[in-house]
Amino acid sequence: MERKSRFTQWLRRSRSATGGDSGSGAVAASAREDLLMAAAAAGFPLAPAAYPSGYGCSCDRIGCPTPARHPVSFAWATQASADPEKVRHWLRADPQANFITATGLVHDVLDVPVEVGRQALERLGAAEVEVGPVATSGADLRQGRMLFFTTTRGTPDDEDEWWPCELDCHPETMDEHPGLRWHCRGSYVLVPPARLPGDGRVAWLLGPERPLPDPLTLLEALTDAGRLAAEEEQDDHASAAWPIGR
């Protein structure tokens, strides 16, 4: 019960920090800039991204498949910077812009369904494992994602090759890592605070000032929680498949 209340406190804090309930545009803009500067101060390489416009995306692509979730420039990987002056320049040039952070340079991101992340946080808290920055992405805590920021593995000597974020994991371990995406080299995620179409947003649950943990210290808790969620979903589908008796 205590761990659940701690999770609720984190969530409330993240809402107030992103200005979600603020009535003042100037206050919200200032709070937003402060959060982006905090991410830059933590060394996160940032680059401008698209934002919601009407029912779609601010980019000029008709039927954009990832509205408000992609960088503005195709050169985002080389453009990304933690220089606060650059970030301020981009922000003032387009105050509505979202920002992405390039992964695989300073940090990686373990990206899981939000319920999996919540269960993993409870397990990690019970084991007194230090967790780094954590963000939530989506309109609510049922359909969204949770992003765990970690140190980057870079180019490990024990790996024959690396894989992009489009894969949840190595193909041969798909069943062992349900719903997990490991954003590493060549990938990016939206950095809080960011707006999504509808009521969606990306917000910090635990801020970027926290030290980045080794991804392997979180992986077991995340994969165990993911496996449990997958088993529960299979059980639900199996019970729903039984015909209703007359």
Average pLDDT of the segment spanning 218-224: 89
Model's pTM, two decimal places? 0.81
Here the tokens at position 222 are: 């995340």
- Contact at 8 Å (CB) between 107 and 212? yes
Count CB neighbours of 203 within 10 A.
Answer: 20
For 92-133, what is each residue's pLDDT tens digit? 999 999 999 999 999 999 999 998 999 999 999 998 999 999
Burial of 220 (0-12, 13-18, 19+ CB in 10 A): middle
Tell me, yes or no, whether 245 lies in a domain. no
Tell me, yes or no, whether 244 lies in a domain. no
Which of 24-28, 66-70, 130-134, 165-169 is predicted with the least confidence, judged by mean pLDDT?
165-169
Range of the domain at 121: 2-238
Which of 80-94, 178-192, 208-222 is predicted with the least confidence, judged by mean pLDDT?
178-192
> How many distinct structural domains can be found in the chain?
1
Tell me, yes or no, whether 246 lies in a domain. no
Q: Which amino acid is at 167?
A: L
Tell me, yes or no, whether 129 lies in a domain. yes
Place of tokens 């939000």: 114
* Lateral strand order in the sheet of 145-151: 181-183, 107-113, 145-151, 134-138, 201-206, 194-195
